[in-house]
Amino acid sequence: MARPLLIAALAATATAAVLATSAMGQARHDSNAPIDFAAQSIDLQDRANRAILSGGVRITQANMTLTASRVTVTYTGQITDGSPSVSRFDASGGVTVTRPDQTARAQYGVYDINRRVITMLGNVTLTQGSNRVSGGRLTINLDTGRASIDGSGVGTTKAPDGSVIRSGGRVTGRFTVPKRD
């Protein structure tokens, strides 16, 4: 049986909407699983507790894959099993996060490993099967499987006096309906 995207709530307003997926739609992600990476180059900055991966970056953890042009890996000073303890990934340039039956794309992405939350910004598209939702910002809670998309994120325009002229955008999408006899 296919695991369809279950829409628990869709609240649309002029500037925001939320798409919630059931925890049954996505199994809980194992954020304790080892993290493998591949890139064209790595720049280690030990004093700053970070590494910069660039050139076709691919990061895999359990059944989730993140790809981007560039990823800054932030780690703590703690060593676990001979490796630094990674706490965060900041990705840019054609960011794609793929999970079973689900793909998210954006300009930027942040994976906060400690909070087990992925945030994606800029021209976000979330696809599952033939269902598609687009917006400005996507937040995925890896513990609950809940994904929220809103029209904000990137796109606020301010006047010279600092007042907001335009803020964010709208969430758009298409949900397919099963064929009935």
Which 8-state DSSP code applies to residue 175?
Answer: -
Give the pLDDT score at 153: 54
Q: Which residues contact 87 (CB under 8 A, 6 or more apart)?
A: 74, 75, 76, 112, 113, 114
pTM: 0.73
Q: What does R_g of the chain's alpha carbons equal in angstroms?
A: 18
Give the pLDDT score at 155: 52
| Cα–Cα dist 113/87, whole Å | 5
Q: 138: closest CA among 130, 129, 127, 9?
A: 127
Is the pLDDT assigned to residue 9 strictly greater than 50?
A: no
Confirm if 93 and 70 have CB atoms less than 8 A apart: yes
| Cα–Cα dist 98/65, whole Å | 5
Summarize pLDDT for 86-116 with one digit per residue, the tens.
899 999 999 999 988 889 999 999 999 999 9
Give the pLDDT score at 168: 57
Confirm if 52 and 70 have CB atoms less than 8 A apart: yes
| Cα–Cα dist 171/148, whole Å | 11
Cα dihedral across residues 141, 57, 123, 158: positive or negative: positive
Confidence class of residue 164 from pLDDT cuts 50, 70 and 90?
very low
What the chain holds in terms of domains, given with CATH numbers, is 7-174 (2.60.450.10)
What does the block give as tokens for 60? 């895999």
Summarize pLDDT for 14-48 with one digit per residue, the tens.
222 333 333 234 567 787 888 999 999 999 998 89
